Amino acid sequence: MEFLKVASIKDAVNQLCEKTYEFDTEIVEIDDLNGRILSKNYFSKINLPPFCRSSVDGYAVISSDTFGADDSIPSLLTFIGSGEMGKPNEFVVSMGQAVYVPTGGMLPQGADAVVMIEYCENVTGDMLTVLKAVTGGENVILVGEDVTEGELIAKKGTVSDFRTIATLSSCGISEAEAYKKPKITIISTGDELVSPQGKLSSGQIYDSNTYSVKALCEDACCEVIACLKIKDDFILLKKAIEDSVAKSDMVLLSGGSSAGEKDYTVKIIESIEDGFVLTHGLSVKPGKPTIIGTVSHKPVIGLPGHPSAAMMIFTEVFWRFLRKKRNETDNAIKIFAKTSENIHSAPGKSTFQLAFLEYKNGEYIAHPMHSKSSHIKVINEANGYIEIPTTSEGIEEGQTVEVKLF
């Protein structure tokens, strides 16, 4: 048995990263890229736009032909034709000439500006009056003005969204390499747990962690392939973990992490071939009894049974592990707010305090939500949390803190 005692989330995550396999990648079509995490950098192979374009409906001209033009003394130009969208503009504009171009259309050779159509009038079939002067480059988008060939347009570790997809597709990239979604099995333990579809008997509670952890996994770009409910039985739980490791990339257990008589998780991991417990206990509150281990170099993590503790450990330990393995940037939204009251912390531990944010008189106020980690309602009412580091004895009323939003 290899046992490592860790004192912080950072150390625990680093050890887990060192002991586990590297994530596989796959090619994903642009249609399916939303929410996926890029596993390589992408550079544009073209200039964007690839040709000079008009940003308005109007007439392409040589700007010096319009100098001094206004309503009383317009410039007179010869209209020589119209460009079409999606086709090369083969006109060549000389002094005293103009060509119509639609918004986004290609600028003809020789022209250096576009006069908006509302400032132009057709006098005869080939005579155009210009009622407003333009300068060189006005209403024109130059070659490569948006993106230049070879420019980095999407970084490794980017969580793809509509912006990433728009940029890649605009540069002609129809597929991208992304990390495969880890396949996860969730195992909930406890004789007292009943599914929401069932009927409660005395001493039983409805299982909520299975469903909340599943939702968190999906938010973290993982694929939950199975949700199992196992009774507090050593042999049954050991077999469930062994079977799950064989079929999944990771196993998350809800419950079975404390030091109670029937909390078998640590002993089971140690009893499985190629199973190692890296830590049983983190210097955090809530979530101290968290178990972090591996079986066949796959993560096996025992989340606390209490709902808010399980949610916090998933967010601050498991999701941080995923981000580190996928080179993923932390894009969590954080807001600075003043605390509405004193907040106490656990000595020597990182403390995570759920909070409700209120916007009042031009600033955010963070109201700490005091509850036990077994309470459910507070999870629904809180919209973020505050981390109090181990070096702090607490936070004073009115102190500015960083609130990480859910």
Residue after which a domain boundary falls, among 303, 325, 347: 325
Return the minimum-mean-pLDDT range out of 5-14, 109-118, 175-184, 378-387. 5-14
Q: What is the mean pLDDT of residues 26-35?
A: 97
- Binned at pLDDT 50, 70 and 90, residue 252 comes out as very high
The answer to whether residue 261 scores a pLDDT higher than 50 is: no
The answer to whether residue 194 scores a pLDDT higher than 90 is: no
My answer on whether 175 and 188 are in the same domain is no
Rounded distance between C-alpha atoms, residue 361 and residue 108, angstroms: 55
CATH of residue 320's domain is 3.40.980.10
pLDDT of residue 4: 41
pLDDT of residue 374: 64
- CA 100-106-107 angle, to 5 degrees, is 65
My answer on whether 206 and 219 are in the same domain is yes
My answer on whether 230 and 309 are in the same domain is yes
CATH of residue 124's domain is 2.170.190.11
Proportion of the chain above pLDDT 70, given as a percent: 96
Total domain count for the chain?
A: 4
My answer on whether 375 and 387 are in the same domain is yes
CB contact set of 121 (below 8 Å; sequence gap of 6+) = 74, 128, 129, 131
Evaluate whether 23 touches 325 at the Cβ level (below 8 Å): yes
Per the DSSP assignment, residues forming a β-bridge with 344 are: 394
The answer to whether residue 24 scores a pLDDT higher than 90 is: yes
My answer on whether 212 and 308 are in the same domain is yes
Segments forming the whole domain that contains residue 359: 334-405
My answer on whether 98 and 152 are in the same domain is no
pLDDT of residue 257: 53
My answer on whether 271 and 228 are in the same domain is yes
Q: Give the DSSP per-residue string, 158-217.
A: -B--HHHHHHHHHTT--EEEEEPPPEEEEEEE-TTEE-TTS---TT-EE--HHHHHHHHH
Asked if residue 4 belongs to a domain, the reply is: no
What CA dihedral angle connects 330, 334, 336 and 337, to 10 degrees? Answer: -140
More confident residue, 47 or 381: 47
The answer to whether residue 189 scores a pLDDT higher than 90 is: no
Rounded distance between C-alpha atoms, residue 184 and residue 156, angstroms: 23
The full length of the chain comes to 406
Rounded distance between C-alpha atoms, residue 2 and residue 16, angstroms: 13
My answer on whether 150 and 187 are in the same domain is no
Mean pLDDT for all residues in the chain: 91
Asked if residue 2 belongs to a domain, the reply is: no
Nearest to 291 by CA among 51, 41, 42, 16: 16
CB contact set of 368 (below 8 Å; sequence gap of 6+) = 339, 340, 341, 343, 353, 354, 355, 386
More confident residue, 34 or 5: 34
- Binned at pLDDT 50, 70 and 90, residue 260 comes out as low
Rounded distance between C-alpha atoms, residue 148 and residue 167, angstroms: 12
